[in-house]
Structure 1
Amino acid sequence: MDLQFLGATETVTGSKYLLRTGHSTVLVDCGLFQGYKPLRLRNWSPLPVRAAAIDAVVLTHAHLDHSGYVPLLARQGFKGPVYCTPATFDLCRILLTDSGHLLEEEAEYLNQHGLSKHKPALPLYTRDDALRCFKLFRPRDFGETWSATEDLRVRFSRSGHLPGSAFAQVEDGGRSILFSGDLGRPHDTILRPPARLPGADYLVIESTYGDRRHEARDPLEQLAEVINRTASRGGMVLIPAFAVGRTQALLHLLHVLRQRRAIPPLPVYLNSPMAASATEIYHRHVEELRLTVEECDAMASHVHVVTTPDESRQLNARHGPMIIIAASGMATGGRVVHHLKAFAPDHRNTILLTGFQAGGTRGATLASGAPTVRIHGEDVPVRAEVAMIHTLSAHADADEILGWLGGFAKPPRQTFITHGEPQAGDALRQRIERELGWECRLPYYLESVTLD
């Protein structure tokens, strides 16, 4: 069995792992590259394997850095099954459709304003491409073992990162390899903890937070502090948030704070129809949550959902204390970008970052304290306060990763550390080697290894 790393090496995006046997070719995860332009350009480069030669795709979860390339792969000629959990399929149906729509919208905006070097600017794929790829999806339940190809069997276990997120264990009868996808946290605000597994012959483990520990502070307390000090100066709070995962956690926390009267009753606008749809999917898969059905219902009970572009534009003309939650979480695209143009120049406002900001994204620029942020070819001044809450991350930190690995009955023959910036990946490698005594390596982009 040969394993090739087509993404998520020295970066947290573009997860793609190609498994080849004498009979089969399977792609585990099929994500988009995001962040720095050289990474994003990889989305336009051909894969080192023909799409039609891939027998199956296995998705660990629905976030675009793990699933967002599927519509393009299908357009390139892939006709095999896409395996994932039922909740991942439900989320992909809204995430991939929205992704295609946003890519078309962005290309149209660039063409209208002459902001692209390409004439015309084209989307990577379209909404119709996304809709067409859904006929390939074949959902499988947690705990079920099935044949993905004639010689490879797969089993999903709950990873606790978002509804439907899974560890994917692939076996060929003699060897097994476990893909962590994104590893969730044992004490997440909303989701049940990751399943404990006995291990595998080989392991591919993420390292997003491999070099740090999450703060121990209560996120309710931190969120209340940001909202109260912003409201006291007459400003608004803009929260770039992933439509799936982070938004639902924020809505739950805001409801709790409102119930406790720990924050003023400010209007809360959810400017993401996709996030509203994703929240409904949380209800549908409540068995994966720590919340009751009633708590899920309450999550969005005081929220105004912004559905149309006109409503979104009208928000930019509003003044005074309010809260706007809009995708995307790293401010790479979507409606939040237009809100940044409108609200970042005002010192009374706050831009609240609540998750990991990959290098090269607008979110990373804001987190660095830069005085301006580049939007649609303009340098927009950032006079607003930029605040960060790290405790809402749905990724395990270094201690939590080590704690999960400590549950293995025996060490893997080889552990491949991926899906992290270089510093984070190497820090996790050192800790695993030092504390567990396992053999580790950080693969490089397009590297191939043989699994004996």
Structure 2
Amino acid sequence: MKFTNLTRANEIGANSYLLEFDGEGRIILDAGLHPRREGEDATPNFGPIGNHAADAVVVSHAHHDHIGSLPLFVRRKQKMPVYLSEATYLLAEPLLHNSVEVMLKQRASLGITSYPLFTHKEVDRAAKSYRICRAGHECSIHGESAPKGEPLSFRLYPGGHILGAVGVRFRHRDRQILYTGDVSFQEQTLMPPADFPLDGIDTLIIEATRGGKETPENQRRPMEIERLISSIQATFRRGGAVLIPVFALGKTQELLATLYLEQKAGRLPRCPITIGGLSRSFTQIYDRLASRSFRRHPGLSLLGDVAPTVLDGRTVRQLSPKPGEIYLVSSGMMTERTLSNILAQRFLPEERHSILVVGYCDPNSPAGQLLQTSRGNLVALDSESPPRPLLCEVDQFDLTSHAIREDLLAYIFRLNPRLCVLVHGDPPALAWFQERLREERPGIEVVVPPPGEALEL
């Protein structure tokens, strides 16, 4: 088997990888767009694919950095099948159509002439290539079911990251290869932990997102939720409102469920909760699949039981934060001109309000800059607006949907594969896993695949 890293650097970027199985199949794993780059620099590196298009694409989940360039891959081969879970099938369409709208706005405001990288028609055209695979069902890249004796087949396993996230196990003759995608081995509010194979894997291709971050025992999810609820209560007591910047897909739904269950248990007062329009679209799908997907609390209707108010770009500029309300709006890193960034401008000068960050933030993002600013100093969240004084409460809570590094390491030890390929991590994260595995499991060959180079595995 040959493995080629199609990302342009060893980082958390435009995640995409090419697997070549000895002339019996060329498969693209994921088709992402880089969340912090613009134009063609945000796409995977198509060069190593060459003129011979892949036979299929297999998508792990519907986050933008794993599916955002999918129409570009389908453009290269119109009838190339795209295999994904049912939830990813449903989530992909609104995400990709929203991506076109964002690119059109960036073309107008930033002058990026290469935008949009694909059109609404291409999103619709790509959807015709989608093929739903059921978890636990042996599939062929040439059809839905793998016939007996098929030299190359694959199977999806629930990944626990967001709704529809899967790991992919390939069986090639007498070898088994597992690609984790983004995974969580911890139980979240809505998502159960991953249900992956525990033995028999020869080659493991595993995410390393949190390799650079130690997770103290007192910082596990239940304690972080308790701390978050305490901070919201304190904000309400001083007559303030709470802004929680979130990703529209995954984090919004987890927080809606968490807040509702805390209210139901009497640990948080009933209060109005506001979300964004794209978040509503994704939440509808979470509700639609509640009873037939790998999801906890199947009887909980997020839109029906929580009944959040929906905020859009037209009304946000006239909105004044009201005491005792929670604004659960995107983007999670408070990217310029998003709802959370615009709304944050009204929170900054008010001591009674709070901005509570619930996940990872790039240090160079507006949310990252906010977290690095001491209270009382000036902070610039928008390049077109002057810096503002930071007077409101700001705090960060580790409610990650990625596996903590301790769980990833334990899973590698449990599998004990011949070969471990580390992907989806910044250099410090990749280096931590390399060092630990060489120290504690020298029998496992560890590879960090250089971008663009085909490796014989």
> Shorter-normalised TM-score: what interval?
0.7 to 0.9
Check 1:202–1:268 CA distance in 2 against 1; reply closer, same or farther (3 A cut).
same
Which of 437, 440, 454 does residue 435 from structure 1 map onto? 440
Asked if residue 130 in structure 1 is aligned to residue 123 in structure 2, the reply is yes
What do residues 113-170 of structure 1 show as CA deviations (whole Å, max 9, x unaligned)? xxx355x573333333322211110110011112215863211111111221111122
Partner of 1:6: 6
Partner of 2:206: 205
Check 1:382–1:60 CA distance in 2 against 1; reply closer, same or farther (3 A cut).
farther
Asked if residue 251 in structure 1 is aligned to residue 253 in structure 2, the reply is no
Check 1:56–1:379 CA distance in 2 against 1; reply closer, same or farther (3 A cut).
farther
Partner of 2:368: 364
What TM-score, normalized to structure 2?
0.86
2:141 alignment partner AA: A
Matches within 5 A, 1:58-137: 58-108=58-108, 110=109, 116=110, 118=112, 122-137=115-130
1:175 CA displacement: 3.3
Counterpart-to-counterpart distance in 2, 1:434 and 1:90: 43
What TM-score, normalized to structure 1?
0.87
2:133 alignment partner AA: R
**SS of equivalent residue, structure 1 residue 406:** helix
Counterpart-to-counterpart distance in 1, 2:51 and 2:345: 39
Matches within 5 A, 1:141-220: 141-149=134-142, 152-197=152-197, 198-211=199-212, 212-213=214-215, 215-216=219-220, 217-220=222-225
What do residues 223-279 of structure 1 show as CA deviations (whole Å, max 9, x unaligned)? 2122122223333221111222211111112112222343343321012x2322322
What do residues 261-304 of structure 1 show as CA deviations (whole Å, max 9, x unaligned)? 43343321012x2322322322314354563333x226752443
Counterpart-to-counterpart distance in 1, 2:271 and 2:140: 52
Counterpart-to-counterpart distance in 1, 2:73 and 2:341: 28
Q: Is the 8 A contact 1:8 1:420 kept in 2?
A: no
Counterpart-to-counterpart distance in 1, 2:200 and 2:9: 22
Partner of 1:400: 407
Counterpart-to-counterpart distance in 1, 2:91 and 2:43: 22
Higher RCO (CA < 8 A, seq sep 6+): 1
Q: Is the 8 A contact 1:185 1:394 kept in 2?
A: no
Counterpart-to-counterpart distance in 2, 1:152 and 1:377: 53
Counterpart-to-counterpart distance in 2, 1:52 and 1:361: 38
Any gaps of 5 or more consecutive residues in structure 2? 143-149
Structure 1 moving runs of 4+ over 6 Å: none
Check 1:117–1:39 CA distance in 2 against 1; reply closer, same or farther (3 A cut).
closer
Which of 301, 309, 314 does residue 310 from structure 1 map onto? 314
Q: Is the 8 A contact 2:167 2:178 kept in 1?
A: yes
1:431 alignment partner AA: R
Check 1:344–1:129 CA distance in 2 against 1; reply closer, same or farther (3 A cut).
farther
Partner of 1:113: none
Counterpart-to-counterpart distance in 1, 2:40 and 2:184: 26
Counterpart-to-counterpart distance in 1, 2:360 and 2:99: 20
Any gaps of 5 or more consecutive residues in structure 1? 111-115
Check 1:398–1:440 CA distance in 2 against 1; reply closer, same or farther (3 A cut).
same
1:139 alignment partner AA: I
What is the root-mean-square deviation of aligned Cα atoms in Å?
A: 2.8
1:379 CA displacement: 4.9
Counterpart-to-counterpart distance in 1, 2:253 and 2:10: 29
Check 1:413–1:78 CA distance in 2 against 1; reply closer, same or farther (3 A cut).
farther
Asked if residue 139 in structure 1 is aligned to residue 146 in structure 2, the reply is no
Counterpart-to-counterpart distance in 2, 1:44 and 1:346: 42
Corresponding residue pairs, total: 437
Q: Is the 8 A contact 2:210 2:402 kept in 1?
A: yes
Counterpart-to-counterpart distance in 2, 1:261 and 1:329: 27
Check 1:73–1:349 CA distance in 2 against 1; reply closer, same or farther (3 A cut).
farther
Which of 212, 228, 234 does residue 229 from structure 1 map onto? 234
Percent identity of paired positions between Structure 1 and Structure 2: 28
